[in-house]
Amino acid sequence: MNELKNDYNTSVPISNELPNNPSVTRSSRRLFLCTATVIIFLFGISVGFVLNNSPKFATNHYIRTIQASFHAPVTNSSFEHQANLDLFWKVWDEIHTQYVDQPVDDSTLIYSAISGMVAGVGDQYSVFFNPEQSKAFLSEVYGSFEGIGAEIGIKDDHLTIIAPLPGSPASQAGLLAGDTVLAINGTNASSFSLNDAVETIRGEKGTTVTLTIQRVDTPEPFDVIVTRDTIHVESVKWEMVNEGDHRIAHITITNFAEDTATKFQEAINNMLIQQPDALILDLRNNPGGFLDGAVNIASKFIPEGQAVVYEQFGNGATQAYKASGLSPLQNLPTIILQNEGSASASEILAGALEDYGKAKIIGVTSFGKGTVQDLETFDDDSSLKLTIARWLTPTQHLINNIGIYPDYWVERTADDVAAERDPQLDAALLYIKDQAAFTAQYQPYVPPAQEELTKQK
């Protein structure tokens, strides 16, 4: 899912609308994940397709024969590609004849080569998973896993907590969206690749991991010890809140998982029976998930046939994903809550509702993950998550590395969290019940670009 799932999910994984059997041959799903990335090398894909029915990759001769059968000119520089593959085989032979600890595992070499090739594209969200890693990643789809329950990724060249899941060990230990991870168990985080960091932070229930954290409003780094646990993810929660004469529905979407669209439909069915005056849609610390979940939920607000999001491919072509079905919430006053942990599919939903004037956004600028990943599972249960496009809001705004700006800037600090204060939710409730009092306290947020244009005028 464009969703570690992110930046990676630092738990023994989760994900979304994938088949019950994750080993479906070359099954492909479109993802919008806040996810981490690992690695690659092209020829290995060809080999993997053919050899995956064997418990181990066979002999050098057999592998070389398979590779040759797949080698065909695909560009004008095919001779150069052949020369590079010749170098590959020279290194392969050196390993098999000169490496001190023989025999070497051919399957490990092939998977590592593929991983290195993917890493060569330089995109943190494109990653190859060997069968064991793929199984862990795909298990996230079903909403139960072991770890600390947080999404991590790279932001401004630093390992960063994207979103601690509500009620998770990460959240209970005090980790916040936007925290920079300086060290993992005392080892400098800069020495880890994103994938290695994720693998180090993940672990079995009952074990601990120590993260050294730098926080914006805290002068000195500090250690956070997190005890890993089994994480159960409820993707949709809701409640009715009575504020004076106003009945306000508060729906929280924690991630866009396999069951999110169905759970959201159940929530609004029950909610509408109670005839709410307004809706607060809480997307804070939601790192993303499957695109179709975001489009489905946006369709409840946006009339059928209207674009929810556009994919923009490398050749400049675009594809629209449009709202479908009934839109029972299109006239219900709605406030979206977001923070720096709102990413990917969350930004698609928030951006669409904002562009169509269906919601006001309160909070801070979202994370800014606006690329599309396609997840393909191969016969041997390995899989490839590859960035294939960028996404644009309905008014053609690019979100990647920019984020969705709020209409009203309201922060929730670490002190607020510790004291169980929620000024963002308080602001949303005030906006609904007393707009005069709200406008007296809060001014519309002017994004940096607009502010610069105003100065120039």
Q: Where are the domains of the chain?
A: 236-372+391-456
- Answer whether residue 70 shows pLDDT above 70: no
Distances (CA, A) of 33 to 94, 232, 300, 345: 39, 18, 22, 7
Active site residues: 344, 355, 369
CB 200: neighbour CB atoms within 10 A?
Answer: 15
Radius of gyration of the chain (CA): 24
Q: What is the pTM for the complete model shown?
A: 0.72
More confident residue, 44 or 382: 382
Tokens of 150: 């947080």
State the pLDDT at residue 372.
86
Residues 6+ apart with CB under 8 A from 87: none
Distances (CA, A) of 48 to 61, 122, 261: 15, 22, 35
What type of residue is 375?
L
More confident residue, 94 or 8: 94
Residues 6+ apart with CB under 8 A from 428: 280, 335, 337, 362
Residue range 106-115, pLDDT digits in tens? 999 999 999 9
Residue range 181-209, pLDDT digits in tens? 999 999 999 998 887 898 899 888 999 99
Query: pLDDT band for position 52 (50/70/90)?
Result: very low
Tokens of 288: 């993303």
Beta-bridge partner residues of 282: 252, 337
- Answer whether residue 144 shows pLDDT above 60: no
Q: Which of 38-52, 149-163, 234-248, 254-268 has the lowest mean pLDDT?
A: 38-52
How far apart CA 383 and CA 162 sit, in angstroms, is: 24
Token pair 């009952």 is found at 206
Mean predicted confidence (pLDDT) in 418-423: 90
Q: What phi and psi, each to the nearest 5 degrees, are found at residue 107?
A: -65, -40
Kindly state the greatest CA–CA separation across the chain.
80
- Answer whether residue 53 shows pLDDT above 60: no
**Alpha helix positions (H), 304-433:** 345-355, 414-418, 423-433
How far apart CA 57 and CA 81 sit, in angstroms, is: 23
Average pLDDT, the chain: 82
Mean predicted confidence (pLDDT) in 318-343: 96
Mean predicted confidence (pLDDT) in 10-14: 37
Token pair 């672990």 is found at 203
- Answer whether residue 230 shows pLDDT above 50: yes
236-372+391-456 is a CATH 3.90.226.10 domain = yes
Burial 298-318 (b: 16+ CB within 10 A, else e): bbbbbeeebbbbbbbeeeeee
Query: pLDDT band for position 140 (50/70/90)?
Result: low
Which region, left, alpha or beta, applies to residue 39 given φ > 0 means left and ψ of -120 to 50 means alpha?
A: left
Mean predicted confidence (pLDDT) in 258-271: 95
End-to-end CA distance of the chain: 42
In order, the DSSP letters of 68-127 are HHH----STTHHHHHHHHHHHHHHHHHHHHH-SS-S--HHHHHHHHHHHHHHTT--TT-E
State the pLDDT at residue 79.
53
- Answer whether residue 453 shows pLDDT above 50: no
Burial 386-414 (b: 16+ CB within 10 A, else e): bbebbbbbbeeeebbebbbbbbbbbebee
